[in-house]
């Protein structure tokens, strides 16, 4: 079975579970953010276990379910959790769910994540729109034979995160009175947290936040011509920047969960504003 066959099998399973439903916007929820799914009206949930080829997330707070429904008047497909490269999944498995969203009909996808901040003025509890990313992991989901049915061999990443969608995010945030930061996301593949020396290096390179996801999905979606927006929920200051407390994933999830309602409000307002561009 080819990778295209695997993606199309996933599409067929979803369409069989929700006949006639065609999403225009995709959303991927990161760590601690599953409560955002409650913002979707008329929901239909499908377990990843019932979608061929979907990897099951092994990280707490990643529900492993696809929710279909309406958000801000827009038909959406929301991935409630993701698989990560650090779990040992091949890159094709990591990005197959977002490729499936694109084949279902999503013209744009919002990628969300939990991230550590490299800027003291953008501390825990803030949301940050991703303007660009840095990938020095050595990993890329496009490595290997090109999937010509999805996109060209070489893709331009100058506007990896769509400026128009980012403008809609800013307008949505202003409309609901939410203080939305903006910055560059650095993909650190994990699962260990970064060292203070690495954080100093990343800051020198121009990074504003660091996390363990999002970038592979962005690359795969841009390969398919899908617009991408990104939002980091800032859950902690990065290594060496805090008061000496050890970084702990449980704290990341707790802080992320506390931000889920703000993110849900932002996503709902964004969907309504961006509807004509989807």
**Contact partners, residue 90, CB within 8 Å, separation at least 6:** none
The question of whether 133 is a catalytic residue gets the answer no
Catalytic: which of 3, 83, 84, 108?
84
Catalytic: which of 37, 108, 114, 257?
114
Catalytic: which of 17, 63, 86, 157?
86
The question of whether 84 is a catalytic residue gets the answer yes
The question of whether 261 is a catalytic residue gets the answer no
Catalytic: which of 13, 47, 241, 249?
249
Evaluate whether 23 touches 101 at the Cβ level (below 8 Å). Answer: yes
3-state secondary structure of 219: helix
The question of whether 86 is a catalytic residue gets the answer yes
Catalytic: which of 62, 89, 133, 168?
62
- Alpha-carbon distance 205 to 184, whole Å? 10
Residue 168 backbone class (left: φ over 0; alpha: ψ -120 to 50; beta: rest): alpha
Catalytic: which of 31, 61, 135, 232?
31
118, HSE (Cβ side, Cα atoms, 13 Å): 24
CA 81 → CA 12, 102, 158, 167, 226, distances in Å? 21, 17, 27, 25, 20
The question of whether 62 is a catalytic residue gets the answer yes
Catalytic: which of 63, 87, 131, 275?
87
The question of whether 236 is a catalytic residue gets the answer yes
Catalytic: which of 236, 238, 257, 264?
236
- Catalytic positions, written as ranges: 31, 62, 84, 86-87, 114, 212-213, 236, 249
């Amino acid at each position: 079975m080819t990778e295209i066959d695997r993606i199309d099998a996933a599409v067929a399973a979803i369409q069989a579970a929700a006949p006639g439903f065609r999403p225009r916007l995709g959303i991927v929820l990161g760590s601690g953010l599953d409560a955002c799914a409650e913002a979707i009206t008329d929901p239909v949930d499908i377990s990843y276990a019932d979608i061929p080829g979907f990897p099951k997330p092994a990280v707490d707070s990643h529900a492993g379910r696809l929710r279909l429904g309406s958000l801000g008047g827009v038909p959406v497909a929301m991935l409630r959790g993701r698989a990560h490269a650090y779990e040992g999944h091949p890159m094709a498995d990591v990005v197959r769910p977002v490729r499936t969203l694109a084949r279902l009909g999503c013209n744009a996808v919002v990628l969300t994540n939990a991230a550590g901040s490299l800027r003291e003025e953008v501390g825990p509890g803030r949301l940050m729109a991703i303007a660009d990313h840095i990938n020095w992991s050595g990993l890329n989901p496009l490595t290997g034979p090109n999937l010509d049915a999805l996109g060209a061999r070489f893709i331009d990443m100058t506007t990896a995160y769509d400026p128009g969608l980012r403008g809609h995010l800013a307008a949505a945030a202003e409309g609901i009175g939410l203080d939305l930061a903006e910055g560059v996301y650095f993909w650190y593949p994990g699962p260990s947290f970064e060292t203070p020396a690495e954080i100093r290096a990343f800051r020198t390179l121009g990074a504003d936040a660091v996390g363990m996801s999002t970038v592979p999905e962005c690359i795969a979606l841009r390969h398919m011509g899908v617009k991408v927006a990104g939002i980091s929920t800032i859950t902690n200051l990065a290594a060496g920047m805090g008061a000496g407390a050890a970084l702990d994933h449980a704290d990341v999830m707790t802080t992320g969960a506390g931000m889920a309602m703000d993110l849900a409000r932002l996503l709902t307002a964004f969907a309504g504003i961006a509807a004509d561009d989807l």
